[in-house]
Amino acid sequence: MKLYFHYEETDDAGDVEEAKALTLKLTLPKSWVGQPLLQVLELFLENYNNKKARLEPLDISGVHLEKADGMKIHTTDIVMDILSDRDDVYVKHGAEQPAKAKRTPPSSSSSSSSSSSSSSSSSSSSIPGATTEGSTGLLRCKNYGCNQSFAQETNTESACRFHRAPPVFHDTKKGWACCTKRVYDWDEFHTIEGCATGRHSTLDPKEVFAPSPTLAAANQAGANGGSDAPGASSTALKSIEDYNQANPDAATAAKSAASSVTKPQARCTVKADGSATCLNKGCQKEFQVKENHPTACCYHASGPVFHDAGKFWSCCPGVIKYDFEEFLKIPGCMVSSHLDGSEESSRFFESHARKREDR
C-alpha cells in the first residue's frame, strides 16, 4: 500500500510556507497494513525531522491526522480499515482528540472483561522493557527493522519479521548490516524486508549480550559441588607472575616477540655503473653516487596521505592536490643528500638533514 502524507503551514496572510511544507510517498510493508496508524505517523515525522533538520522538529503529541475530505482519523485506527491505496493523509497542527468509545450496555461479562484487561495490563507491565502505546494497550516491538505494535496474547514464533543486525549508514547509502541490499532513499530503506522471523520483543537488541561460556562453566562447576565434586583437581592454581619468578629462563610470548622484532634493512639501490635511486620520500630520482652532496635532495619528512580525492604529505598538510601529477610536484620540506640505502649513505644523509629555509 502507498500513502501520500502532506504537511503544510500557512503564514498570517494564509499563504503556504514552502520551507516548512513536505509531501512524502510512503510505501508500507504488508505487515503494517493491519497495524495502527501510529507507526506510519512516526515514520513520516522521522523523515520530516531529518529532511527539515534546521527547523523546529514536529512532535507527535502536537499533531493529528485528517483525510482529504477533512475527516479526522486517529493513530489507533487500523490502516486498512480507514485508508485505501494511494490515499492522501494530512498532518495538521493540534493534538489528537481521543477517539469516542462505543457505548455498550452493561452486562455480567463486563466485570470479567475488566479483570481480564487489568491482568493483561499487569502482565504487559511485567515484561522487561515493555512500553504500552497510549490507550491501545499494545506493546512496541524493538527488534531491528520492526517497530510494530503488538499484543502479547497474539505474539507467536512467526509474528515478527526483523533484521538480525543494526542499520548501516555510509555516505548516502542506507541498509542493514545483516543484509547486502543498500538504498539511497529513506522510504525505500524502511521497506527493506527483514531477514529473520521470530517473536516480537520489547528488549532493545543493543542491550542483549551473549552468555559468557566461562561464566556458564563456572556456574556449572558450582552446581556440581565445586572442588568437593568427584574428579575435581586439588592442584593449587598459580599466577603467571609466580611461574615467571620460578622459571626465569623459560620462553615466553613477550620474549619471543622481542627477539623476533628486528629493524628492517633498507635495500641498497646502487648499480654497477655507479648510479642509484634515491629512497627519500617525494624524491625517487636517479643520481650518480660520486656526485651526491649535502643539498642534493629536496624531500618530505613523512609519508603521503590520500583522503577522499585529496592528496598531500602529512608533513605539509596545508598543500592539498587533487591531481596525482600535481601531487608529485609538491616541493619537499627537508633538504639533505640523496639516500641510496647503504650504511655510508645513511650516515651522510643523517648528518646533513635539515628543514628548508626558503619555505
pLDDT tens digits, the chain, 359 residues: what are they?
888 999 888 777 777 788 888 888 888 888 888 888 888 888 888 888 888 888 888 888 888 898 888 888 888 888 888 888 888 999 888 888 776 554 444 444 444 444 444 444 444 444 555 555 544 678 888 899 888 888 888 899 999 999 988 888 887 788 998 998 998 888 888 889 999 999 998 888 876 555 566 767 777 776 665 544 444 445 566 677 777 777 777 666 666 665 555 555 667 888 999 999 999 998 989 999 999 999 999 999 998 999 878 899 999 888 998 888 899 889 999 999 998 888 888 888 888 888 887 76
CA distance 46 to 12: 27
Rounded-to-integer distance, Cα 61 and Cα 41, Å: 11
| pTM as predicted | 0.32
Angle at Cα 232 formed by Cα 228 and Cα 233, nearest 5°? 120
Q: How far apart are CA 63 and CA 12, in angstroms?
A: 20
Chain centroid, CA 286 distance in Å = 49
Locus of grid cell 641510496: 340
Dist. CA 194–CA 191, nearest whole Å? 9
